[in-house]
Amino acid sequence: MLQAIVIGVSLFLNSAAQAEEINPYDMLEQVATKTFNRIKTEHSQIEANPELLRTVMEEELLPYVDYNFAALKVLGKHFRTVPKEKIPEFIKVFRSYLITTYALALSYYNGQEVIFQPSKDVGDDSTVTVRAIVKEPGRPDINIAFKLRKSNKTDEWRAYDMVAEGISLLSSKQSEFESILRQDGIQAVIDSMNNTISRPINLNPEAKG
C-alpha cells in the first residue's frame, strides 16, 4: 500500500514538474503542427465535407485557446454595462464563433510549409507572441502569429489571439462589435455571431488545387 502511494505521489510530482516546464513556443508549435498535419491528412474528407474543419479546430486547437479571456477582451469596457446574465451566453456563443473563425482562416491550408520561430526562454513573462511563416512556392510568404498568456491560477499557457499579416483577430472583432454593442446591445452581437456560425464552411478555391 505504501509503495503504491509513493509511486502515485512520484507520478503526480513528475507530471507537475513537466507541466511547469512547458514552453509556450514549443507548445504552440506542437499544437499548430498537429492541426496542420491533420488538415493535410484529412484533406480529401474535408474537400467532400468542409464542415469537418470545425471538428478539427474544436479538437486540436480549442483546448489550447483561452476563449473566456478573449471573449471578455472583445467586450472591453462594455463588460461593465451589459446585463450580467447575458455574459455566459455570450461566452458560449463566442466559443463556437472562434471555432468557425479559425476554420475559415485555415480553410486555405493545403500542405504549405509552416516555419515557426525558434523557441526561447520566457523567464517571468506572462504573455508571449509566437510567430510563424507560411511558405508556398511562387507566392509571397504569409506572416502569422499567436499571442499566448499564462494563467495566474494554473500556470498553463493558452492562446487568446491570432494575427495574420499584422491584423489581430481579437482587435478586429473588438472594433466590429463595439459599434453594435453601443447601439444595439449584447444580444445583437450574439445574433450576429450566431448568423456567422450558421453559415456553411466554404473552402477557399486555392485550397482545392
Contact indicator for 53, 46 with CB cutoff of 8 Å: yes
Question: In the predicted model, what is the mean pLDDT of the chain?
Answer: 86
**CATH (residue range 24-208):** 3.10.450.710
| Domain edges within the chain | 24-208
- Give 172-181 pLDDT, tens digit per residue: 999 999 989 9
- Give 94-144 pLDDT, tens digit per residue: 999 999 999 998 888 888 899 999 999 998 899 999 999 999 888 899 899
Q: Say if strands 113-116 and 167-168 run parallel, antiparallel, or are unpaired.
A: unpaired
| 36 vs 16, higher pLDDT | 36
CB count within 10 Å of CB 88 equals 9
pLDDT value, residue 90: 97
Does the structure show a pLDDT above 50 at 81?
yes
Percent pLDDT > 70 in the chain is 87
Residues 6+ apart with CB under 8 A from 166: 143
Does the structure show a pLDDT above 70 at 21?
no
pLDDT value, residue 83: 93
Residue 154 binned pLDDT confidence (cut-offs 50, 70, 90): confident
Residues 6+ apart with CB under 8 A from 116: 25, 28, 29, 32, 130, 131, 132
pTM comes to: 0.82
Question: Which secondary-structure segment (H or E) carries 71?
Answer: helix 67-75
pLDDT value, residue 195: 97
Does the structure show a pLDDT above 90 at 87?
yes
pLDDT value, residue 41: 92
| 208 vs 106, higher pLDDT | 106
Residue 54 binned pLDDT confidence (cut-offs 50, 70, 90): very high
Residue 5 binned pLDDT confidence (cut-offs 50, 70, 90): very low
pLDDT value, residue 33: 93
pLDDT value, residue 204: 59
